[in-house]
Structure 1
Amino acid sequence: MLPFCFLRVAGQNRRHRRRYASARLAISSIVYLCQLLCLAKAVLVALLGEEIVWPGRHGDVGLVFMYGAICASLIGLLTQLLSATALVTAWEEGRSEEGEESQSLLGKTEDRERGQRRKSTVAVLLAFSAQDTPLLLLAFLAGAAAALGQALIPYYTGVIIDCASIDPDAKEFQWTCLKLVVVSLGCAVFTGIRGGLFTIGMTRLNVRIRTSLFDALMRQEIAFFSATRTGEITSRLSADTTTVSDQICLNLNVGLRSLTQAAMVLVFMFRASWRLSVITFIIIPAIILITKVYGAYYRQLAKAVQKELADANSVAEEALSSMTTVRAHAAENSATAAYGECLRKFYTLQLKEALAYGSYMICTTFLPNAVNVVTLYYGGNLVLDDMMSAGALVSFMLYVASLNGAFQALGDVFSAFAAALGAADKVIELIQREPKMPDAGSLQPPSFSGRLELQDVSFSYPSRPNSRVLDGISLRVNPGEVVALVGPSGGGKTSIVKLVERFYLPDSGAVLLDGRDVGLYDPRWLKRRVALVAQEPVLFARSVRRNICYGLEAEDGVPSQDVPSAADVERAARLANAHDFISAMPQGYDTDCGEKGVSLSGGQKQRIAIARALVRNPTVLLLDEATSALDSDSEAVVQEALDRMMRNHTVLVIAHRLSTVAGADRILVISAGAVAEEGTHESLAEAGGLYSALVRRQFSKTASSASLATTVHGSSYTSLPALNPLAPANAPSSQGTPL
């Protein structure tokens, strides 16, 4: 116990872990060797000692002391080998400490804080299973009854052999056969009950883990999804959760059955022959040690295998979800090669698993057979010396076979648990991950005018902390005012919208709505008053009606009186110029849009996205290239609808097309994360600055495209009508094309 306490204390102190690694390894080896010698001594006593309970006068060892030595040795072995201070663990930790000095102090501090904050995987899994305690307890009781039946079968088998051959007794023979049938039937019934109950528990645990993981993912900040590939997340949510729940419940079933069976069998083994029972104990420490070493190694491999599978799923998901892009660039071979490289790494790890499993099976198969030979040899001598009946020897051998099967099943359970824990580590890590963005507030003011302000805001994306996107920018949008953001790509226009939506937090400065920080508002309340139409519309595999009402359904916690009616949906669709094409569909508003709106064109998806924003009747409109996917006619109609909606609303619009921004109250030119110019369309166009250059460049591209079209089609036109870059969106065609 003293070396054990020393190992535990030294192992918990991170600073002394490397210093005491060698001492821990030496002490572990000595303690393990002493325990093996103690077991060997007990075996010798069983072979040579007398059957006396207490020590005799001539130095004979009594059974009480011998059993005490056996139990102490087995408890010590189990405590040592199943703790974190096993031989291999001590050696591995000693090696790993050599590489830890290269880590920064900040990294160590973060790891220590993360370790203190996160519960152990096993504890979390037990907490998940705690709700099913009555079910699991009932399953355990059924398993104990089944194990008792399994132990009685060899016993009655030996009695039948004795009644049939050694000491013939026809009546006892028939009665024992009937008992064997009843016991076999009861064993089968209780085994079925145990398996069914554990299957129910497995399903309940699977649902519980999936729900907890999905709920945890829904709470994560946007930066998490930007840094984590979708394929990896879906792999954790599907494959890993199934592995965890199935393996844990299935192996819990097998493990409890095997433990109960081993305990029952040991009782009957000692009843048949205590000498032979002691001899069979010599295999236990060897199997435990092999299982511990194999389990630790297998768990590391299992975790690496899950990572490679997640990487492969990410590559496949990325390629399959962007198949048109892959096909357009003839990149099928490179996608296949990337997927094949992930599978090659997965195959290499599987080869290591196969080699480890093969070695483990060789040891765990040979050792029981070797013990069987020793048991048969010594048991045969006992039968020859009339110290044991032939039936009892047969029963004992069946007990040994049952015990070996139980221990082998426990070894398999340990390996499967190691694989499940390897998959569970990442799942539990995601479940316990706290979002790096603080929770939003609960403010729901009775009035909301929608005054938008950015005060000296600086911002860098978490994935690129050294690249400043916004640099001390300040702007103000008053209620009812339409402010347009223009400028070169990458200047930070979309980042402003993301900050207003609180997808990210600014590094410094403040983003305010009605003079309050956006983080103070209740997010559900705020999203019904601040509507966003993004540059790339995203629809879901649901009906058109439900896509327009997305986020405003009863399941979203919206009061029934605030859920949009059919008339509200149709009104929003008419304003977005979407009603006509929706009505022309076979099922109208109940038509399924398909995954990501695959059954609709780009312009149709954009108009449904605009209707989704308009159905909220928002106070603040955020339009990020909202009309970029529309043709000229549709754009004019939608722009007219948006103009009507913009009245008495705060509008922040991002656009490159002149027809969208020309009517704005103010135009802000964003360049390099700051406001370069500010004014109306006319004043900026005449100023000769950056905005004027953008207008001339856009006009030049339009004129060049028109000239190219005339040349290619061999038109007889000798001249083109003059293009007026300042023409409004609804100007006649003779006045030029809107930019």
Structure 2
Amino acid sequence: MTESQFEPPDHVDNSLWLLVRRYARPHALRYVLAAIGTLIAQIPQRLPALVIGVALDAILLQDTPYALPLLPDGWIPETTTGQVQFTIGLLVAAYVLDGTMTWLAGRLEGTARLQTLHEIRVDAFDAVVGHERSFFDRHQTGDVMSVLNNDVSNMNRFGSNAYEGIRLSAQILVAFAFMLTIHVPLAALLALMPLLLIGLCQWYTTRVGPRYERVRESVGRVNSRLEDSIEGIATVKAFAREDAERDRLESASRSYLDRNWSVIRLRLVFSLASWVIVSGAFIGLFSLGAYLVLEGTPAWFGGSLTAGALLTFLMYSQSFYAPIRQLMLDVLDSYEDALASSKRITSVLEGDHPDRNEGRELTVLEGRLEYEDVSFTYEGADEETLTDVSFAAEPGSLVGVVGPTGAGKSTLTKLLFRFYEPDRGAIRIDGTDISDVSRRSLREHLGYVSQDPFLFYGTVRENIVYGVREFDTRADAPEIDHADVVAAAKLAGAHEFITDLEDGYDTQVGERGASLSGGQRQRIAIARALLKDPDVLVLDEATSHVDNETERQIQRSIDATAGEQTTIAIAHRLSTVRNADQILVVDDGEIVERGTHDELVEQDGLYADLWRVQVGDLEAVSEAFLERARARFGESAQRRVTEEIETTEEVSR
């Protein structure tokens, strides 16, 4: 697994700003109103310091008259008591206005930010499921989950800090404006301090950005390790590999720890350096201000400075220094972290999503399926998996596909569903090349049951109707009659065991169907496919986890419904496809034999040997077949053939 799994396309210059433009812009009005409200709130927030400074000089020290900028003198009471009451009134009004504007701005920003993040998460998920199977071959599930969860959530942190950055910027501007009203030269000197911080920021961002990218990658690897270990817990325990899994997780977690610590170390240096600059500036400001108050202000350095004015100026300087430092520590830091996350999100959003391609709708009238000279090689493989495969399945027919493990049987169906595209050749349904239609339209006409079916967390009924209703909660979603669900379950041989469950069709199946046996999960998956009533039904070793009695029941159901849809049945148990209209024998990616069961047994080729093995007629197995087994399995070939015979349950003849 490489460290550059999620890289944005070349046309994306800045992933973060792409997300901002695409998802924040529709909510721009709320963001703008929130920013305006935040800016307005800074004015009453700064008033108390100014009022207290004036009151200190005019009421307590009685050095200067009570006067406030932009406030007519006629509004100010003449008596001391009146001025105290007036001061209290101003403070109350300032805090009420501050609280009101801050609440309104926070509400506007919060709703806009959460809606923005919601849209990013939904679109990112939509993009992930829009990718083809090759995408999931290249990326571990845990790493993909890290993008959808950790990286999108990281954008929420950035959004919150970005709003905080607007508030801090407004606070800096308003505080500086108030300081200018008190003493222009001191404010001008104070304005030089941010230049040092800007240089420090430049040094920090060039170093922390790449470190955050490595941290995001490490989070994905930790999630992948956790996902593998938890999902494979039965295998872990069966092989007593708990300690080994712990070591693998420890290694991934250690990498995350080391990379995260490298960010923390750099941030500590950055924090200390900015603290030294800000603290030094404040001490210098106090020293200069105290000197001017005690010794008097030179004429060339502006007007006089009183003790109250100095106190107010120092309070404003804290509202100037602290936000600048917080901007650098929190906002800038979260920006660099979010930039790393945005690259991973953008790589998913802007990648190639073949499921979204604009193709015409597929119309199926009969369901004739045709493969013409189809060849395919998996990415990174040295040899072709399929070579010049050609066959036709007539409407309503049952076509069995058999052959040794690894012969390419399942790949045939993956190409039919367009999980992968063939290198050469064409696949047609009713004469229409499936590459000319949209994938979604194609798959609406197909049904699929794998040898290891996936059940969703929910009830038995919800899993059976999934292929038709997809848990759709829309008002116009089609309602499925329970009688249809029962009919599909009966066809799949599932109704009897379902009714024996504690809650019948309303029984919770657990995570991935954990409360059911493998055979029960298989039959529910078959019922799900049959309820969909597809034009082409694919059974990929769908009876591999059921007993002989259930297999015979499913076989009768397949035979009974074969005339209603075209069925492709990949089978390890040859008895499953014994009554097929046509059986294809696949070996090393090629169709080496074809015909009915009786015809293939009569040909006395590979199929005949496979049949003899399954029915236990070891004496009649050809020497060529045994030699082939020895070439594949070595000296243990005879034992392996014998074991397969012993473990194969009695089949219907």
TM-score, length basis structure 1? 0.76
Most deviating of 547-556 and 513-522: 547-556
What is the deviation of 1:634?
A: 1.1
Q: Is 2:396 aligned against 1:480?
A: yes
- The secondary structure found in structure 1 opposite 2:10 is helix
Q: Distance in 1 between matches of 2:88 and 2:577?
A: 95
Partner of 2:22: 127
Q: Distance in 2 between matches of 1:626 and 1:239?
A: 37
Q: Distance in 1 between matches of 2:64 and 2:440?
A: 84
Q: Distance in 2 between matches of 1:686 and 1:504?
A: 36
Identity of aligned residues (%): 31
**Alpha carbons of 1:702 and 1:304: their partners in 2 closer, same or farther (altered >3 Å)?**
farther
What is the deviation of 1:696?
A: 3.6
Partner of 1:369: 279
Q: Is 2:311 aligned against 1:394?
A: yes
Check the 8 A contact 1:483/1:651 in 2, yes or no.
Answer: yes
Partner of 2:322: 405
Partner of 2:563: 647
Partner of 1:210: 121
Partner of 2:55: 160
Check the 8 A contact 2:374/2:386 in 1, yes or no.
Answer: yes
Partner of 1:454: 371
Structure 1: any 5+ residue segments left out of the alignment? Answer: 1-106, 704-722
- The secondary structure found in structure 2 opposite 1:266 is helix
Partner of 1:279: 189
Q: Which amino acid aligns with 1:221?
A: E
Check the 8 A contact 2:12/2:18 in 1, yes or no.
Answer: no
Q: Which amino acid aligns with 1:481?
A: S
Q: Is 2:530 aligned against 1:635?
A: no
Q: Residue 83 of structure 2 is aligned with which of 155, 168, 172?
A: 172
Structure 2: any 5+ residue segments left out of the alignment? Answer: 66-79, 298-303, 620-641
Partner of 2:636: none
Q: Residue 42 of structure 2 is aligned with which of 136, 147, 154?
A: 147
Partner of 2:583: 667
Partner of 1:97: none
Q: Distance in 1 between matches of 2:316 and 2:267?
A: 26
Check the 8 A contact 1:529/1:618 in 2, yes or no.
Answer: yes
Partner of 2:349: 431
What is the deviation of 1:432?
A: 1.9
Q: Distance in 2 between matches of 1:126 and 1:558?
A: 30
Q: Distance in 2 between matches of 1:143 and 1:519?
A: 54
**Alpha carbons of 1:577 and 1:246: their partners in 2 closer, same or farther (altered >3 Å)?**
same
Q: Distance in 1 between matches of 2:519 and 2:618?
A: 21
**Alpha carbons of 1:316 and 1:142: their partners in 2 closer, same or farther (altered >3 Å)?**
same
Q: Residue 312 of structure 1 is aligned with which of 222, 226, 245?
A: 222
What is the deviation of 1:494?
A: 0.3
Report how many residues are paired. 599
What is the deviation of 1:324?
A: 0.5
Q: Deviations over 1:364-389 (max 9, x none)?
A: 11111111222122222322215211
Within a 5 Å distance, the mapping from 1:65-214 to structure 2 comes to 114-116=9-11, 120-163=15-58, 164-167=60-63, 170=80, 171-214=82-125
What is the deviation of 1:308?
A: 0.5
What is the deviation of 1:693?
A: 2.8
What is the deviation of 1:523?
A: 4.6
Partner of 1:499: 415
TM-score, length basis structure 2? 0.86
Check the 8 A contact 1:658/1:738 in 2, yes or no.
Answer: no
Q: Distance in 1 between matches of 2:478 and 2:172?
A: 63
Most deviating of 563-572 and 258-267: 563-572
**Alpha carbons of 1:587 and 1:700: their partners in 2 closer, same or farther (altered >3 Å)?**
closer
Which one scores higher on RCO, CA 8 angstroms, separation ≥ 6?
2
Partner of 1:678: 594
Within a 5 Å distance, the mapping from 1:715-726 to structure 2 comes to none
Q: Which amino acid aligns with 1:147?
A: Q
Partner of 1:333: 243
- The secondary structure found in structure 2 opposite 1:489 is coil
Check the 8 A contact 1:440/1:523 in 2, yes or no.
Answer: no
Most deviating of 260-269 and 420-429: 420-429
What is the deviation of 1:117?
A: 5.7
Q: Distance in 2 between matches of 1:201 and 1:437?
A: 30
Check the 8 A contact 1:166/1:390 in 2, yes or no.
Answer: no
**Alpha carbons of 1:414 and 1:680: their partners in 2 closer, same or farther (altered >3 Å)?**
same
Q: Which amino acid aligns with 1:479?
A: P
Q: Which amino acid aligns with 2:557?
A: A
Check the 8 A contact 1:486/1:493 in 2, yes or no.
Answer: yes
Q: Distance in 2 between matches of 1:207 and 1:254?
A: 20
Q: Distance in 2 between matches of 1:523 and 1:434?
A: 14
Q: Is 2:337 aligned against 1:441?
A: no
What is the deviation of 1:307?
A: 1.1
**Alpha carbons of 1:161 and 1:527: their partners in 2 closer, same or farther (altered >3 Å)?**
same
Q: Distance in 2 between matches of 1:449 and 1:294?
A: 66
What is the deviation of 1:663?
A: 1.8
Q: Which amino acid aligns with 1:390?
A: A
Within a 5 Å distance, the mapping from 1:35-54 to structure 2 comes to none
